[in-house]
Amino acid sequence: MNRKIRVLALFLICLMALPLGCSKKTPDGPVRAEYYPDCHEPLAYLRDRHSGTGKRVAMGAAKGGLISGIATAIAASITGNFRAVGVLAGVAAGAAVGGIVAGTSGEDKEENIRMNKYLEEIDGDINDMDFTQASATVSRQCYNKAFAALKTDVRAGKIGVNAARDRFREIVAGEDEAAQLLKNQPQNAEMEEEFEQAIRGKK
């Protein structure tokens, strides 16, 4: 490989290390949980996982195309060796996409660990349950336990009505998010009635 081709190869390696500007954008999503972060964490991970994977695929494709285009244009004018240029451009683009595969593989391992943990925590039937369903189910069960504890505290007068309503709103929001993922009907009306009964029965 002549000196010009070696210089070009080094240039492409440096170019692959540069992130695209759009990668700095933070994904939109629900407001961060304030009172029950443990209940919301499975849903937050699920949302970030899907959002992050989609962004990496799009970014990798864009980076691969950008690198190939730049390599072809610059190297052709420098070396005049179009065959060598094509090889280098292809290698660079493949490396950019290969980085996505490696990152996704690591996330798959984390997902498997979480799945095993969720299945141990879930009460009830876990047959044919996928990762999305397991995440939503374990989150929903957590919110249900939090709601039961909140009603007990309200009846016992351990928490003020306004503070209890703030927590109740967060529980309902988490229940809604989990129910949507499970394609189940939210239990808002029933929960609202139970909460108001707890307030009326407080000491």
Q: What is the pLDDT of residues 24-34, one digit of tens each?
A: 333 345 546 89
Asked whether residue 86 falls in the same domain as residue 150, the answer is no
Asked whether residue 168 falls in the same domain as residue 68, the answer is no
Interior angle at CA 160, CA 159 and CA 162, nearest 5 = 130
Q: Would you say residue 153 has pLDDT above 60? A: yes
Mean pLDDT in residue range 160-165: 96
What pTM was computed for the model? Answer: 0.63
- Take residue 150 and report the two structure tokens written for it: 């909140």
Asked whether residue 109 falls in the same domain as residue 148, the answer is no
The per-residue pLDDT for 36 is 97
Of 46-60, 68-82, 91-105, which one has max mean pLDDT? Answer: 46-60
Asked whether residue 163 falls in the same domain as residue 70, the answer is no
Rounded CA gap, 49 and 157, in Å? 40
For residue 145, give the amino acid letter.
K
The mean of the pLDDT values for the chain is 75
Per the structure, the complete domain to which residue 90 belongs is given by 1-12+36-113
Sign of torsion, CA 140 145 146 152? positive
Q: Give Cα 15 to chain centroid, integer Å.
A: 27
Point out the domain boundary residue: 86, 113, 140.
113
Asked whether residue 70 falls in the same domain as residue 142, the answer is no
Asked whether residue 104 falls in the same domain as residue 179, the answer is no
Contact at 8 Å (CB) between 137 and 129?
A: yes
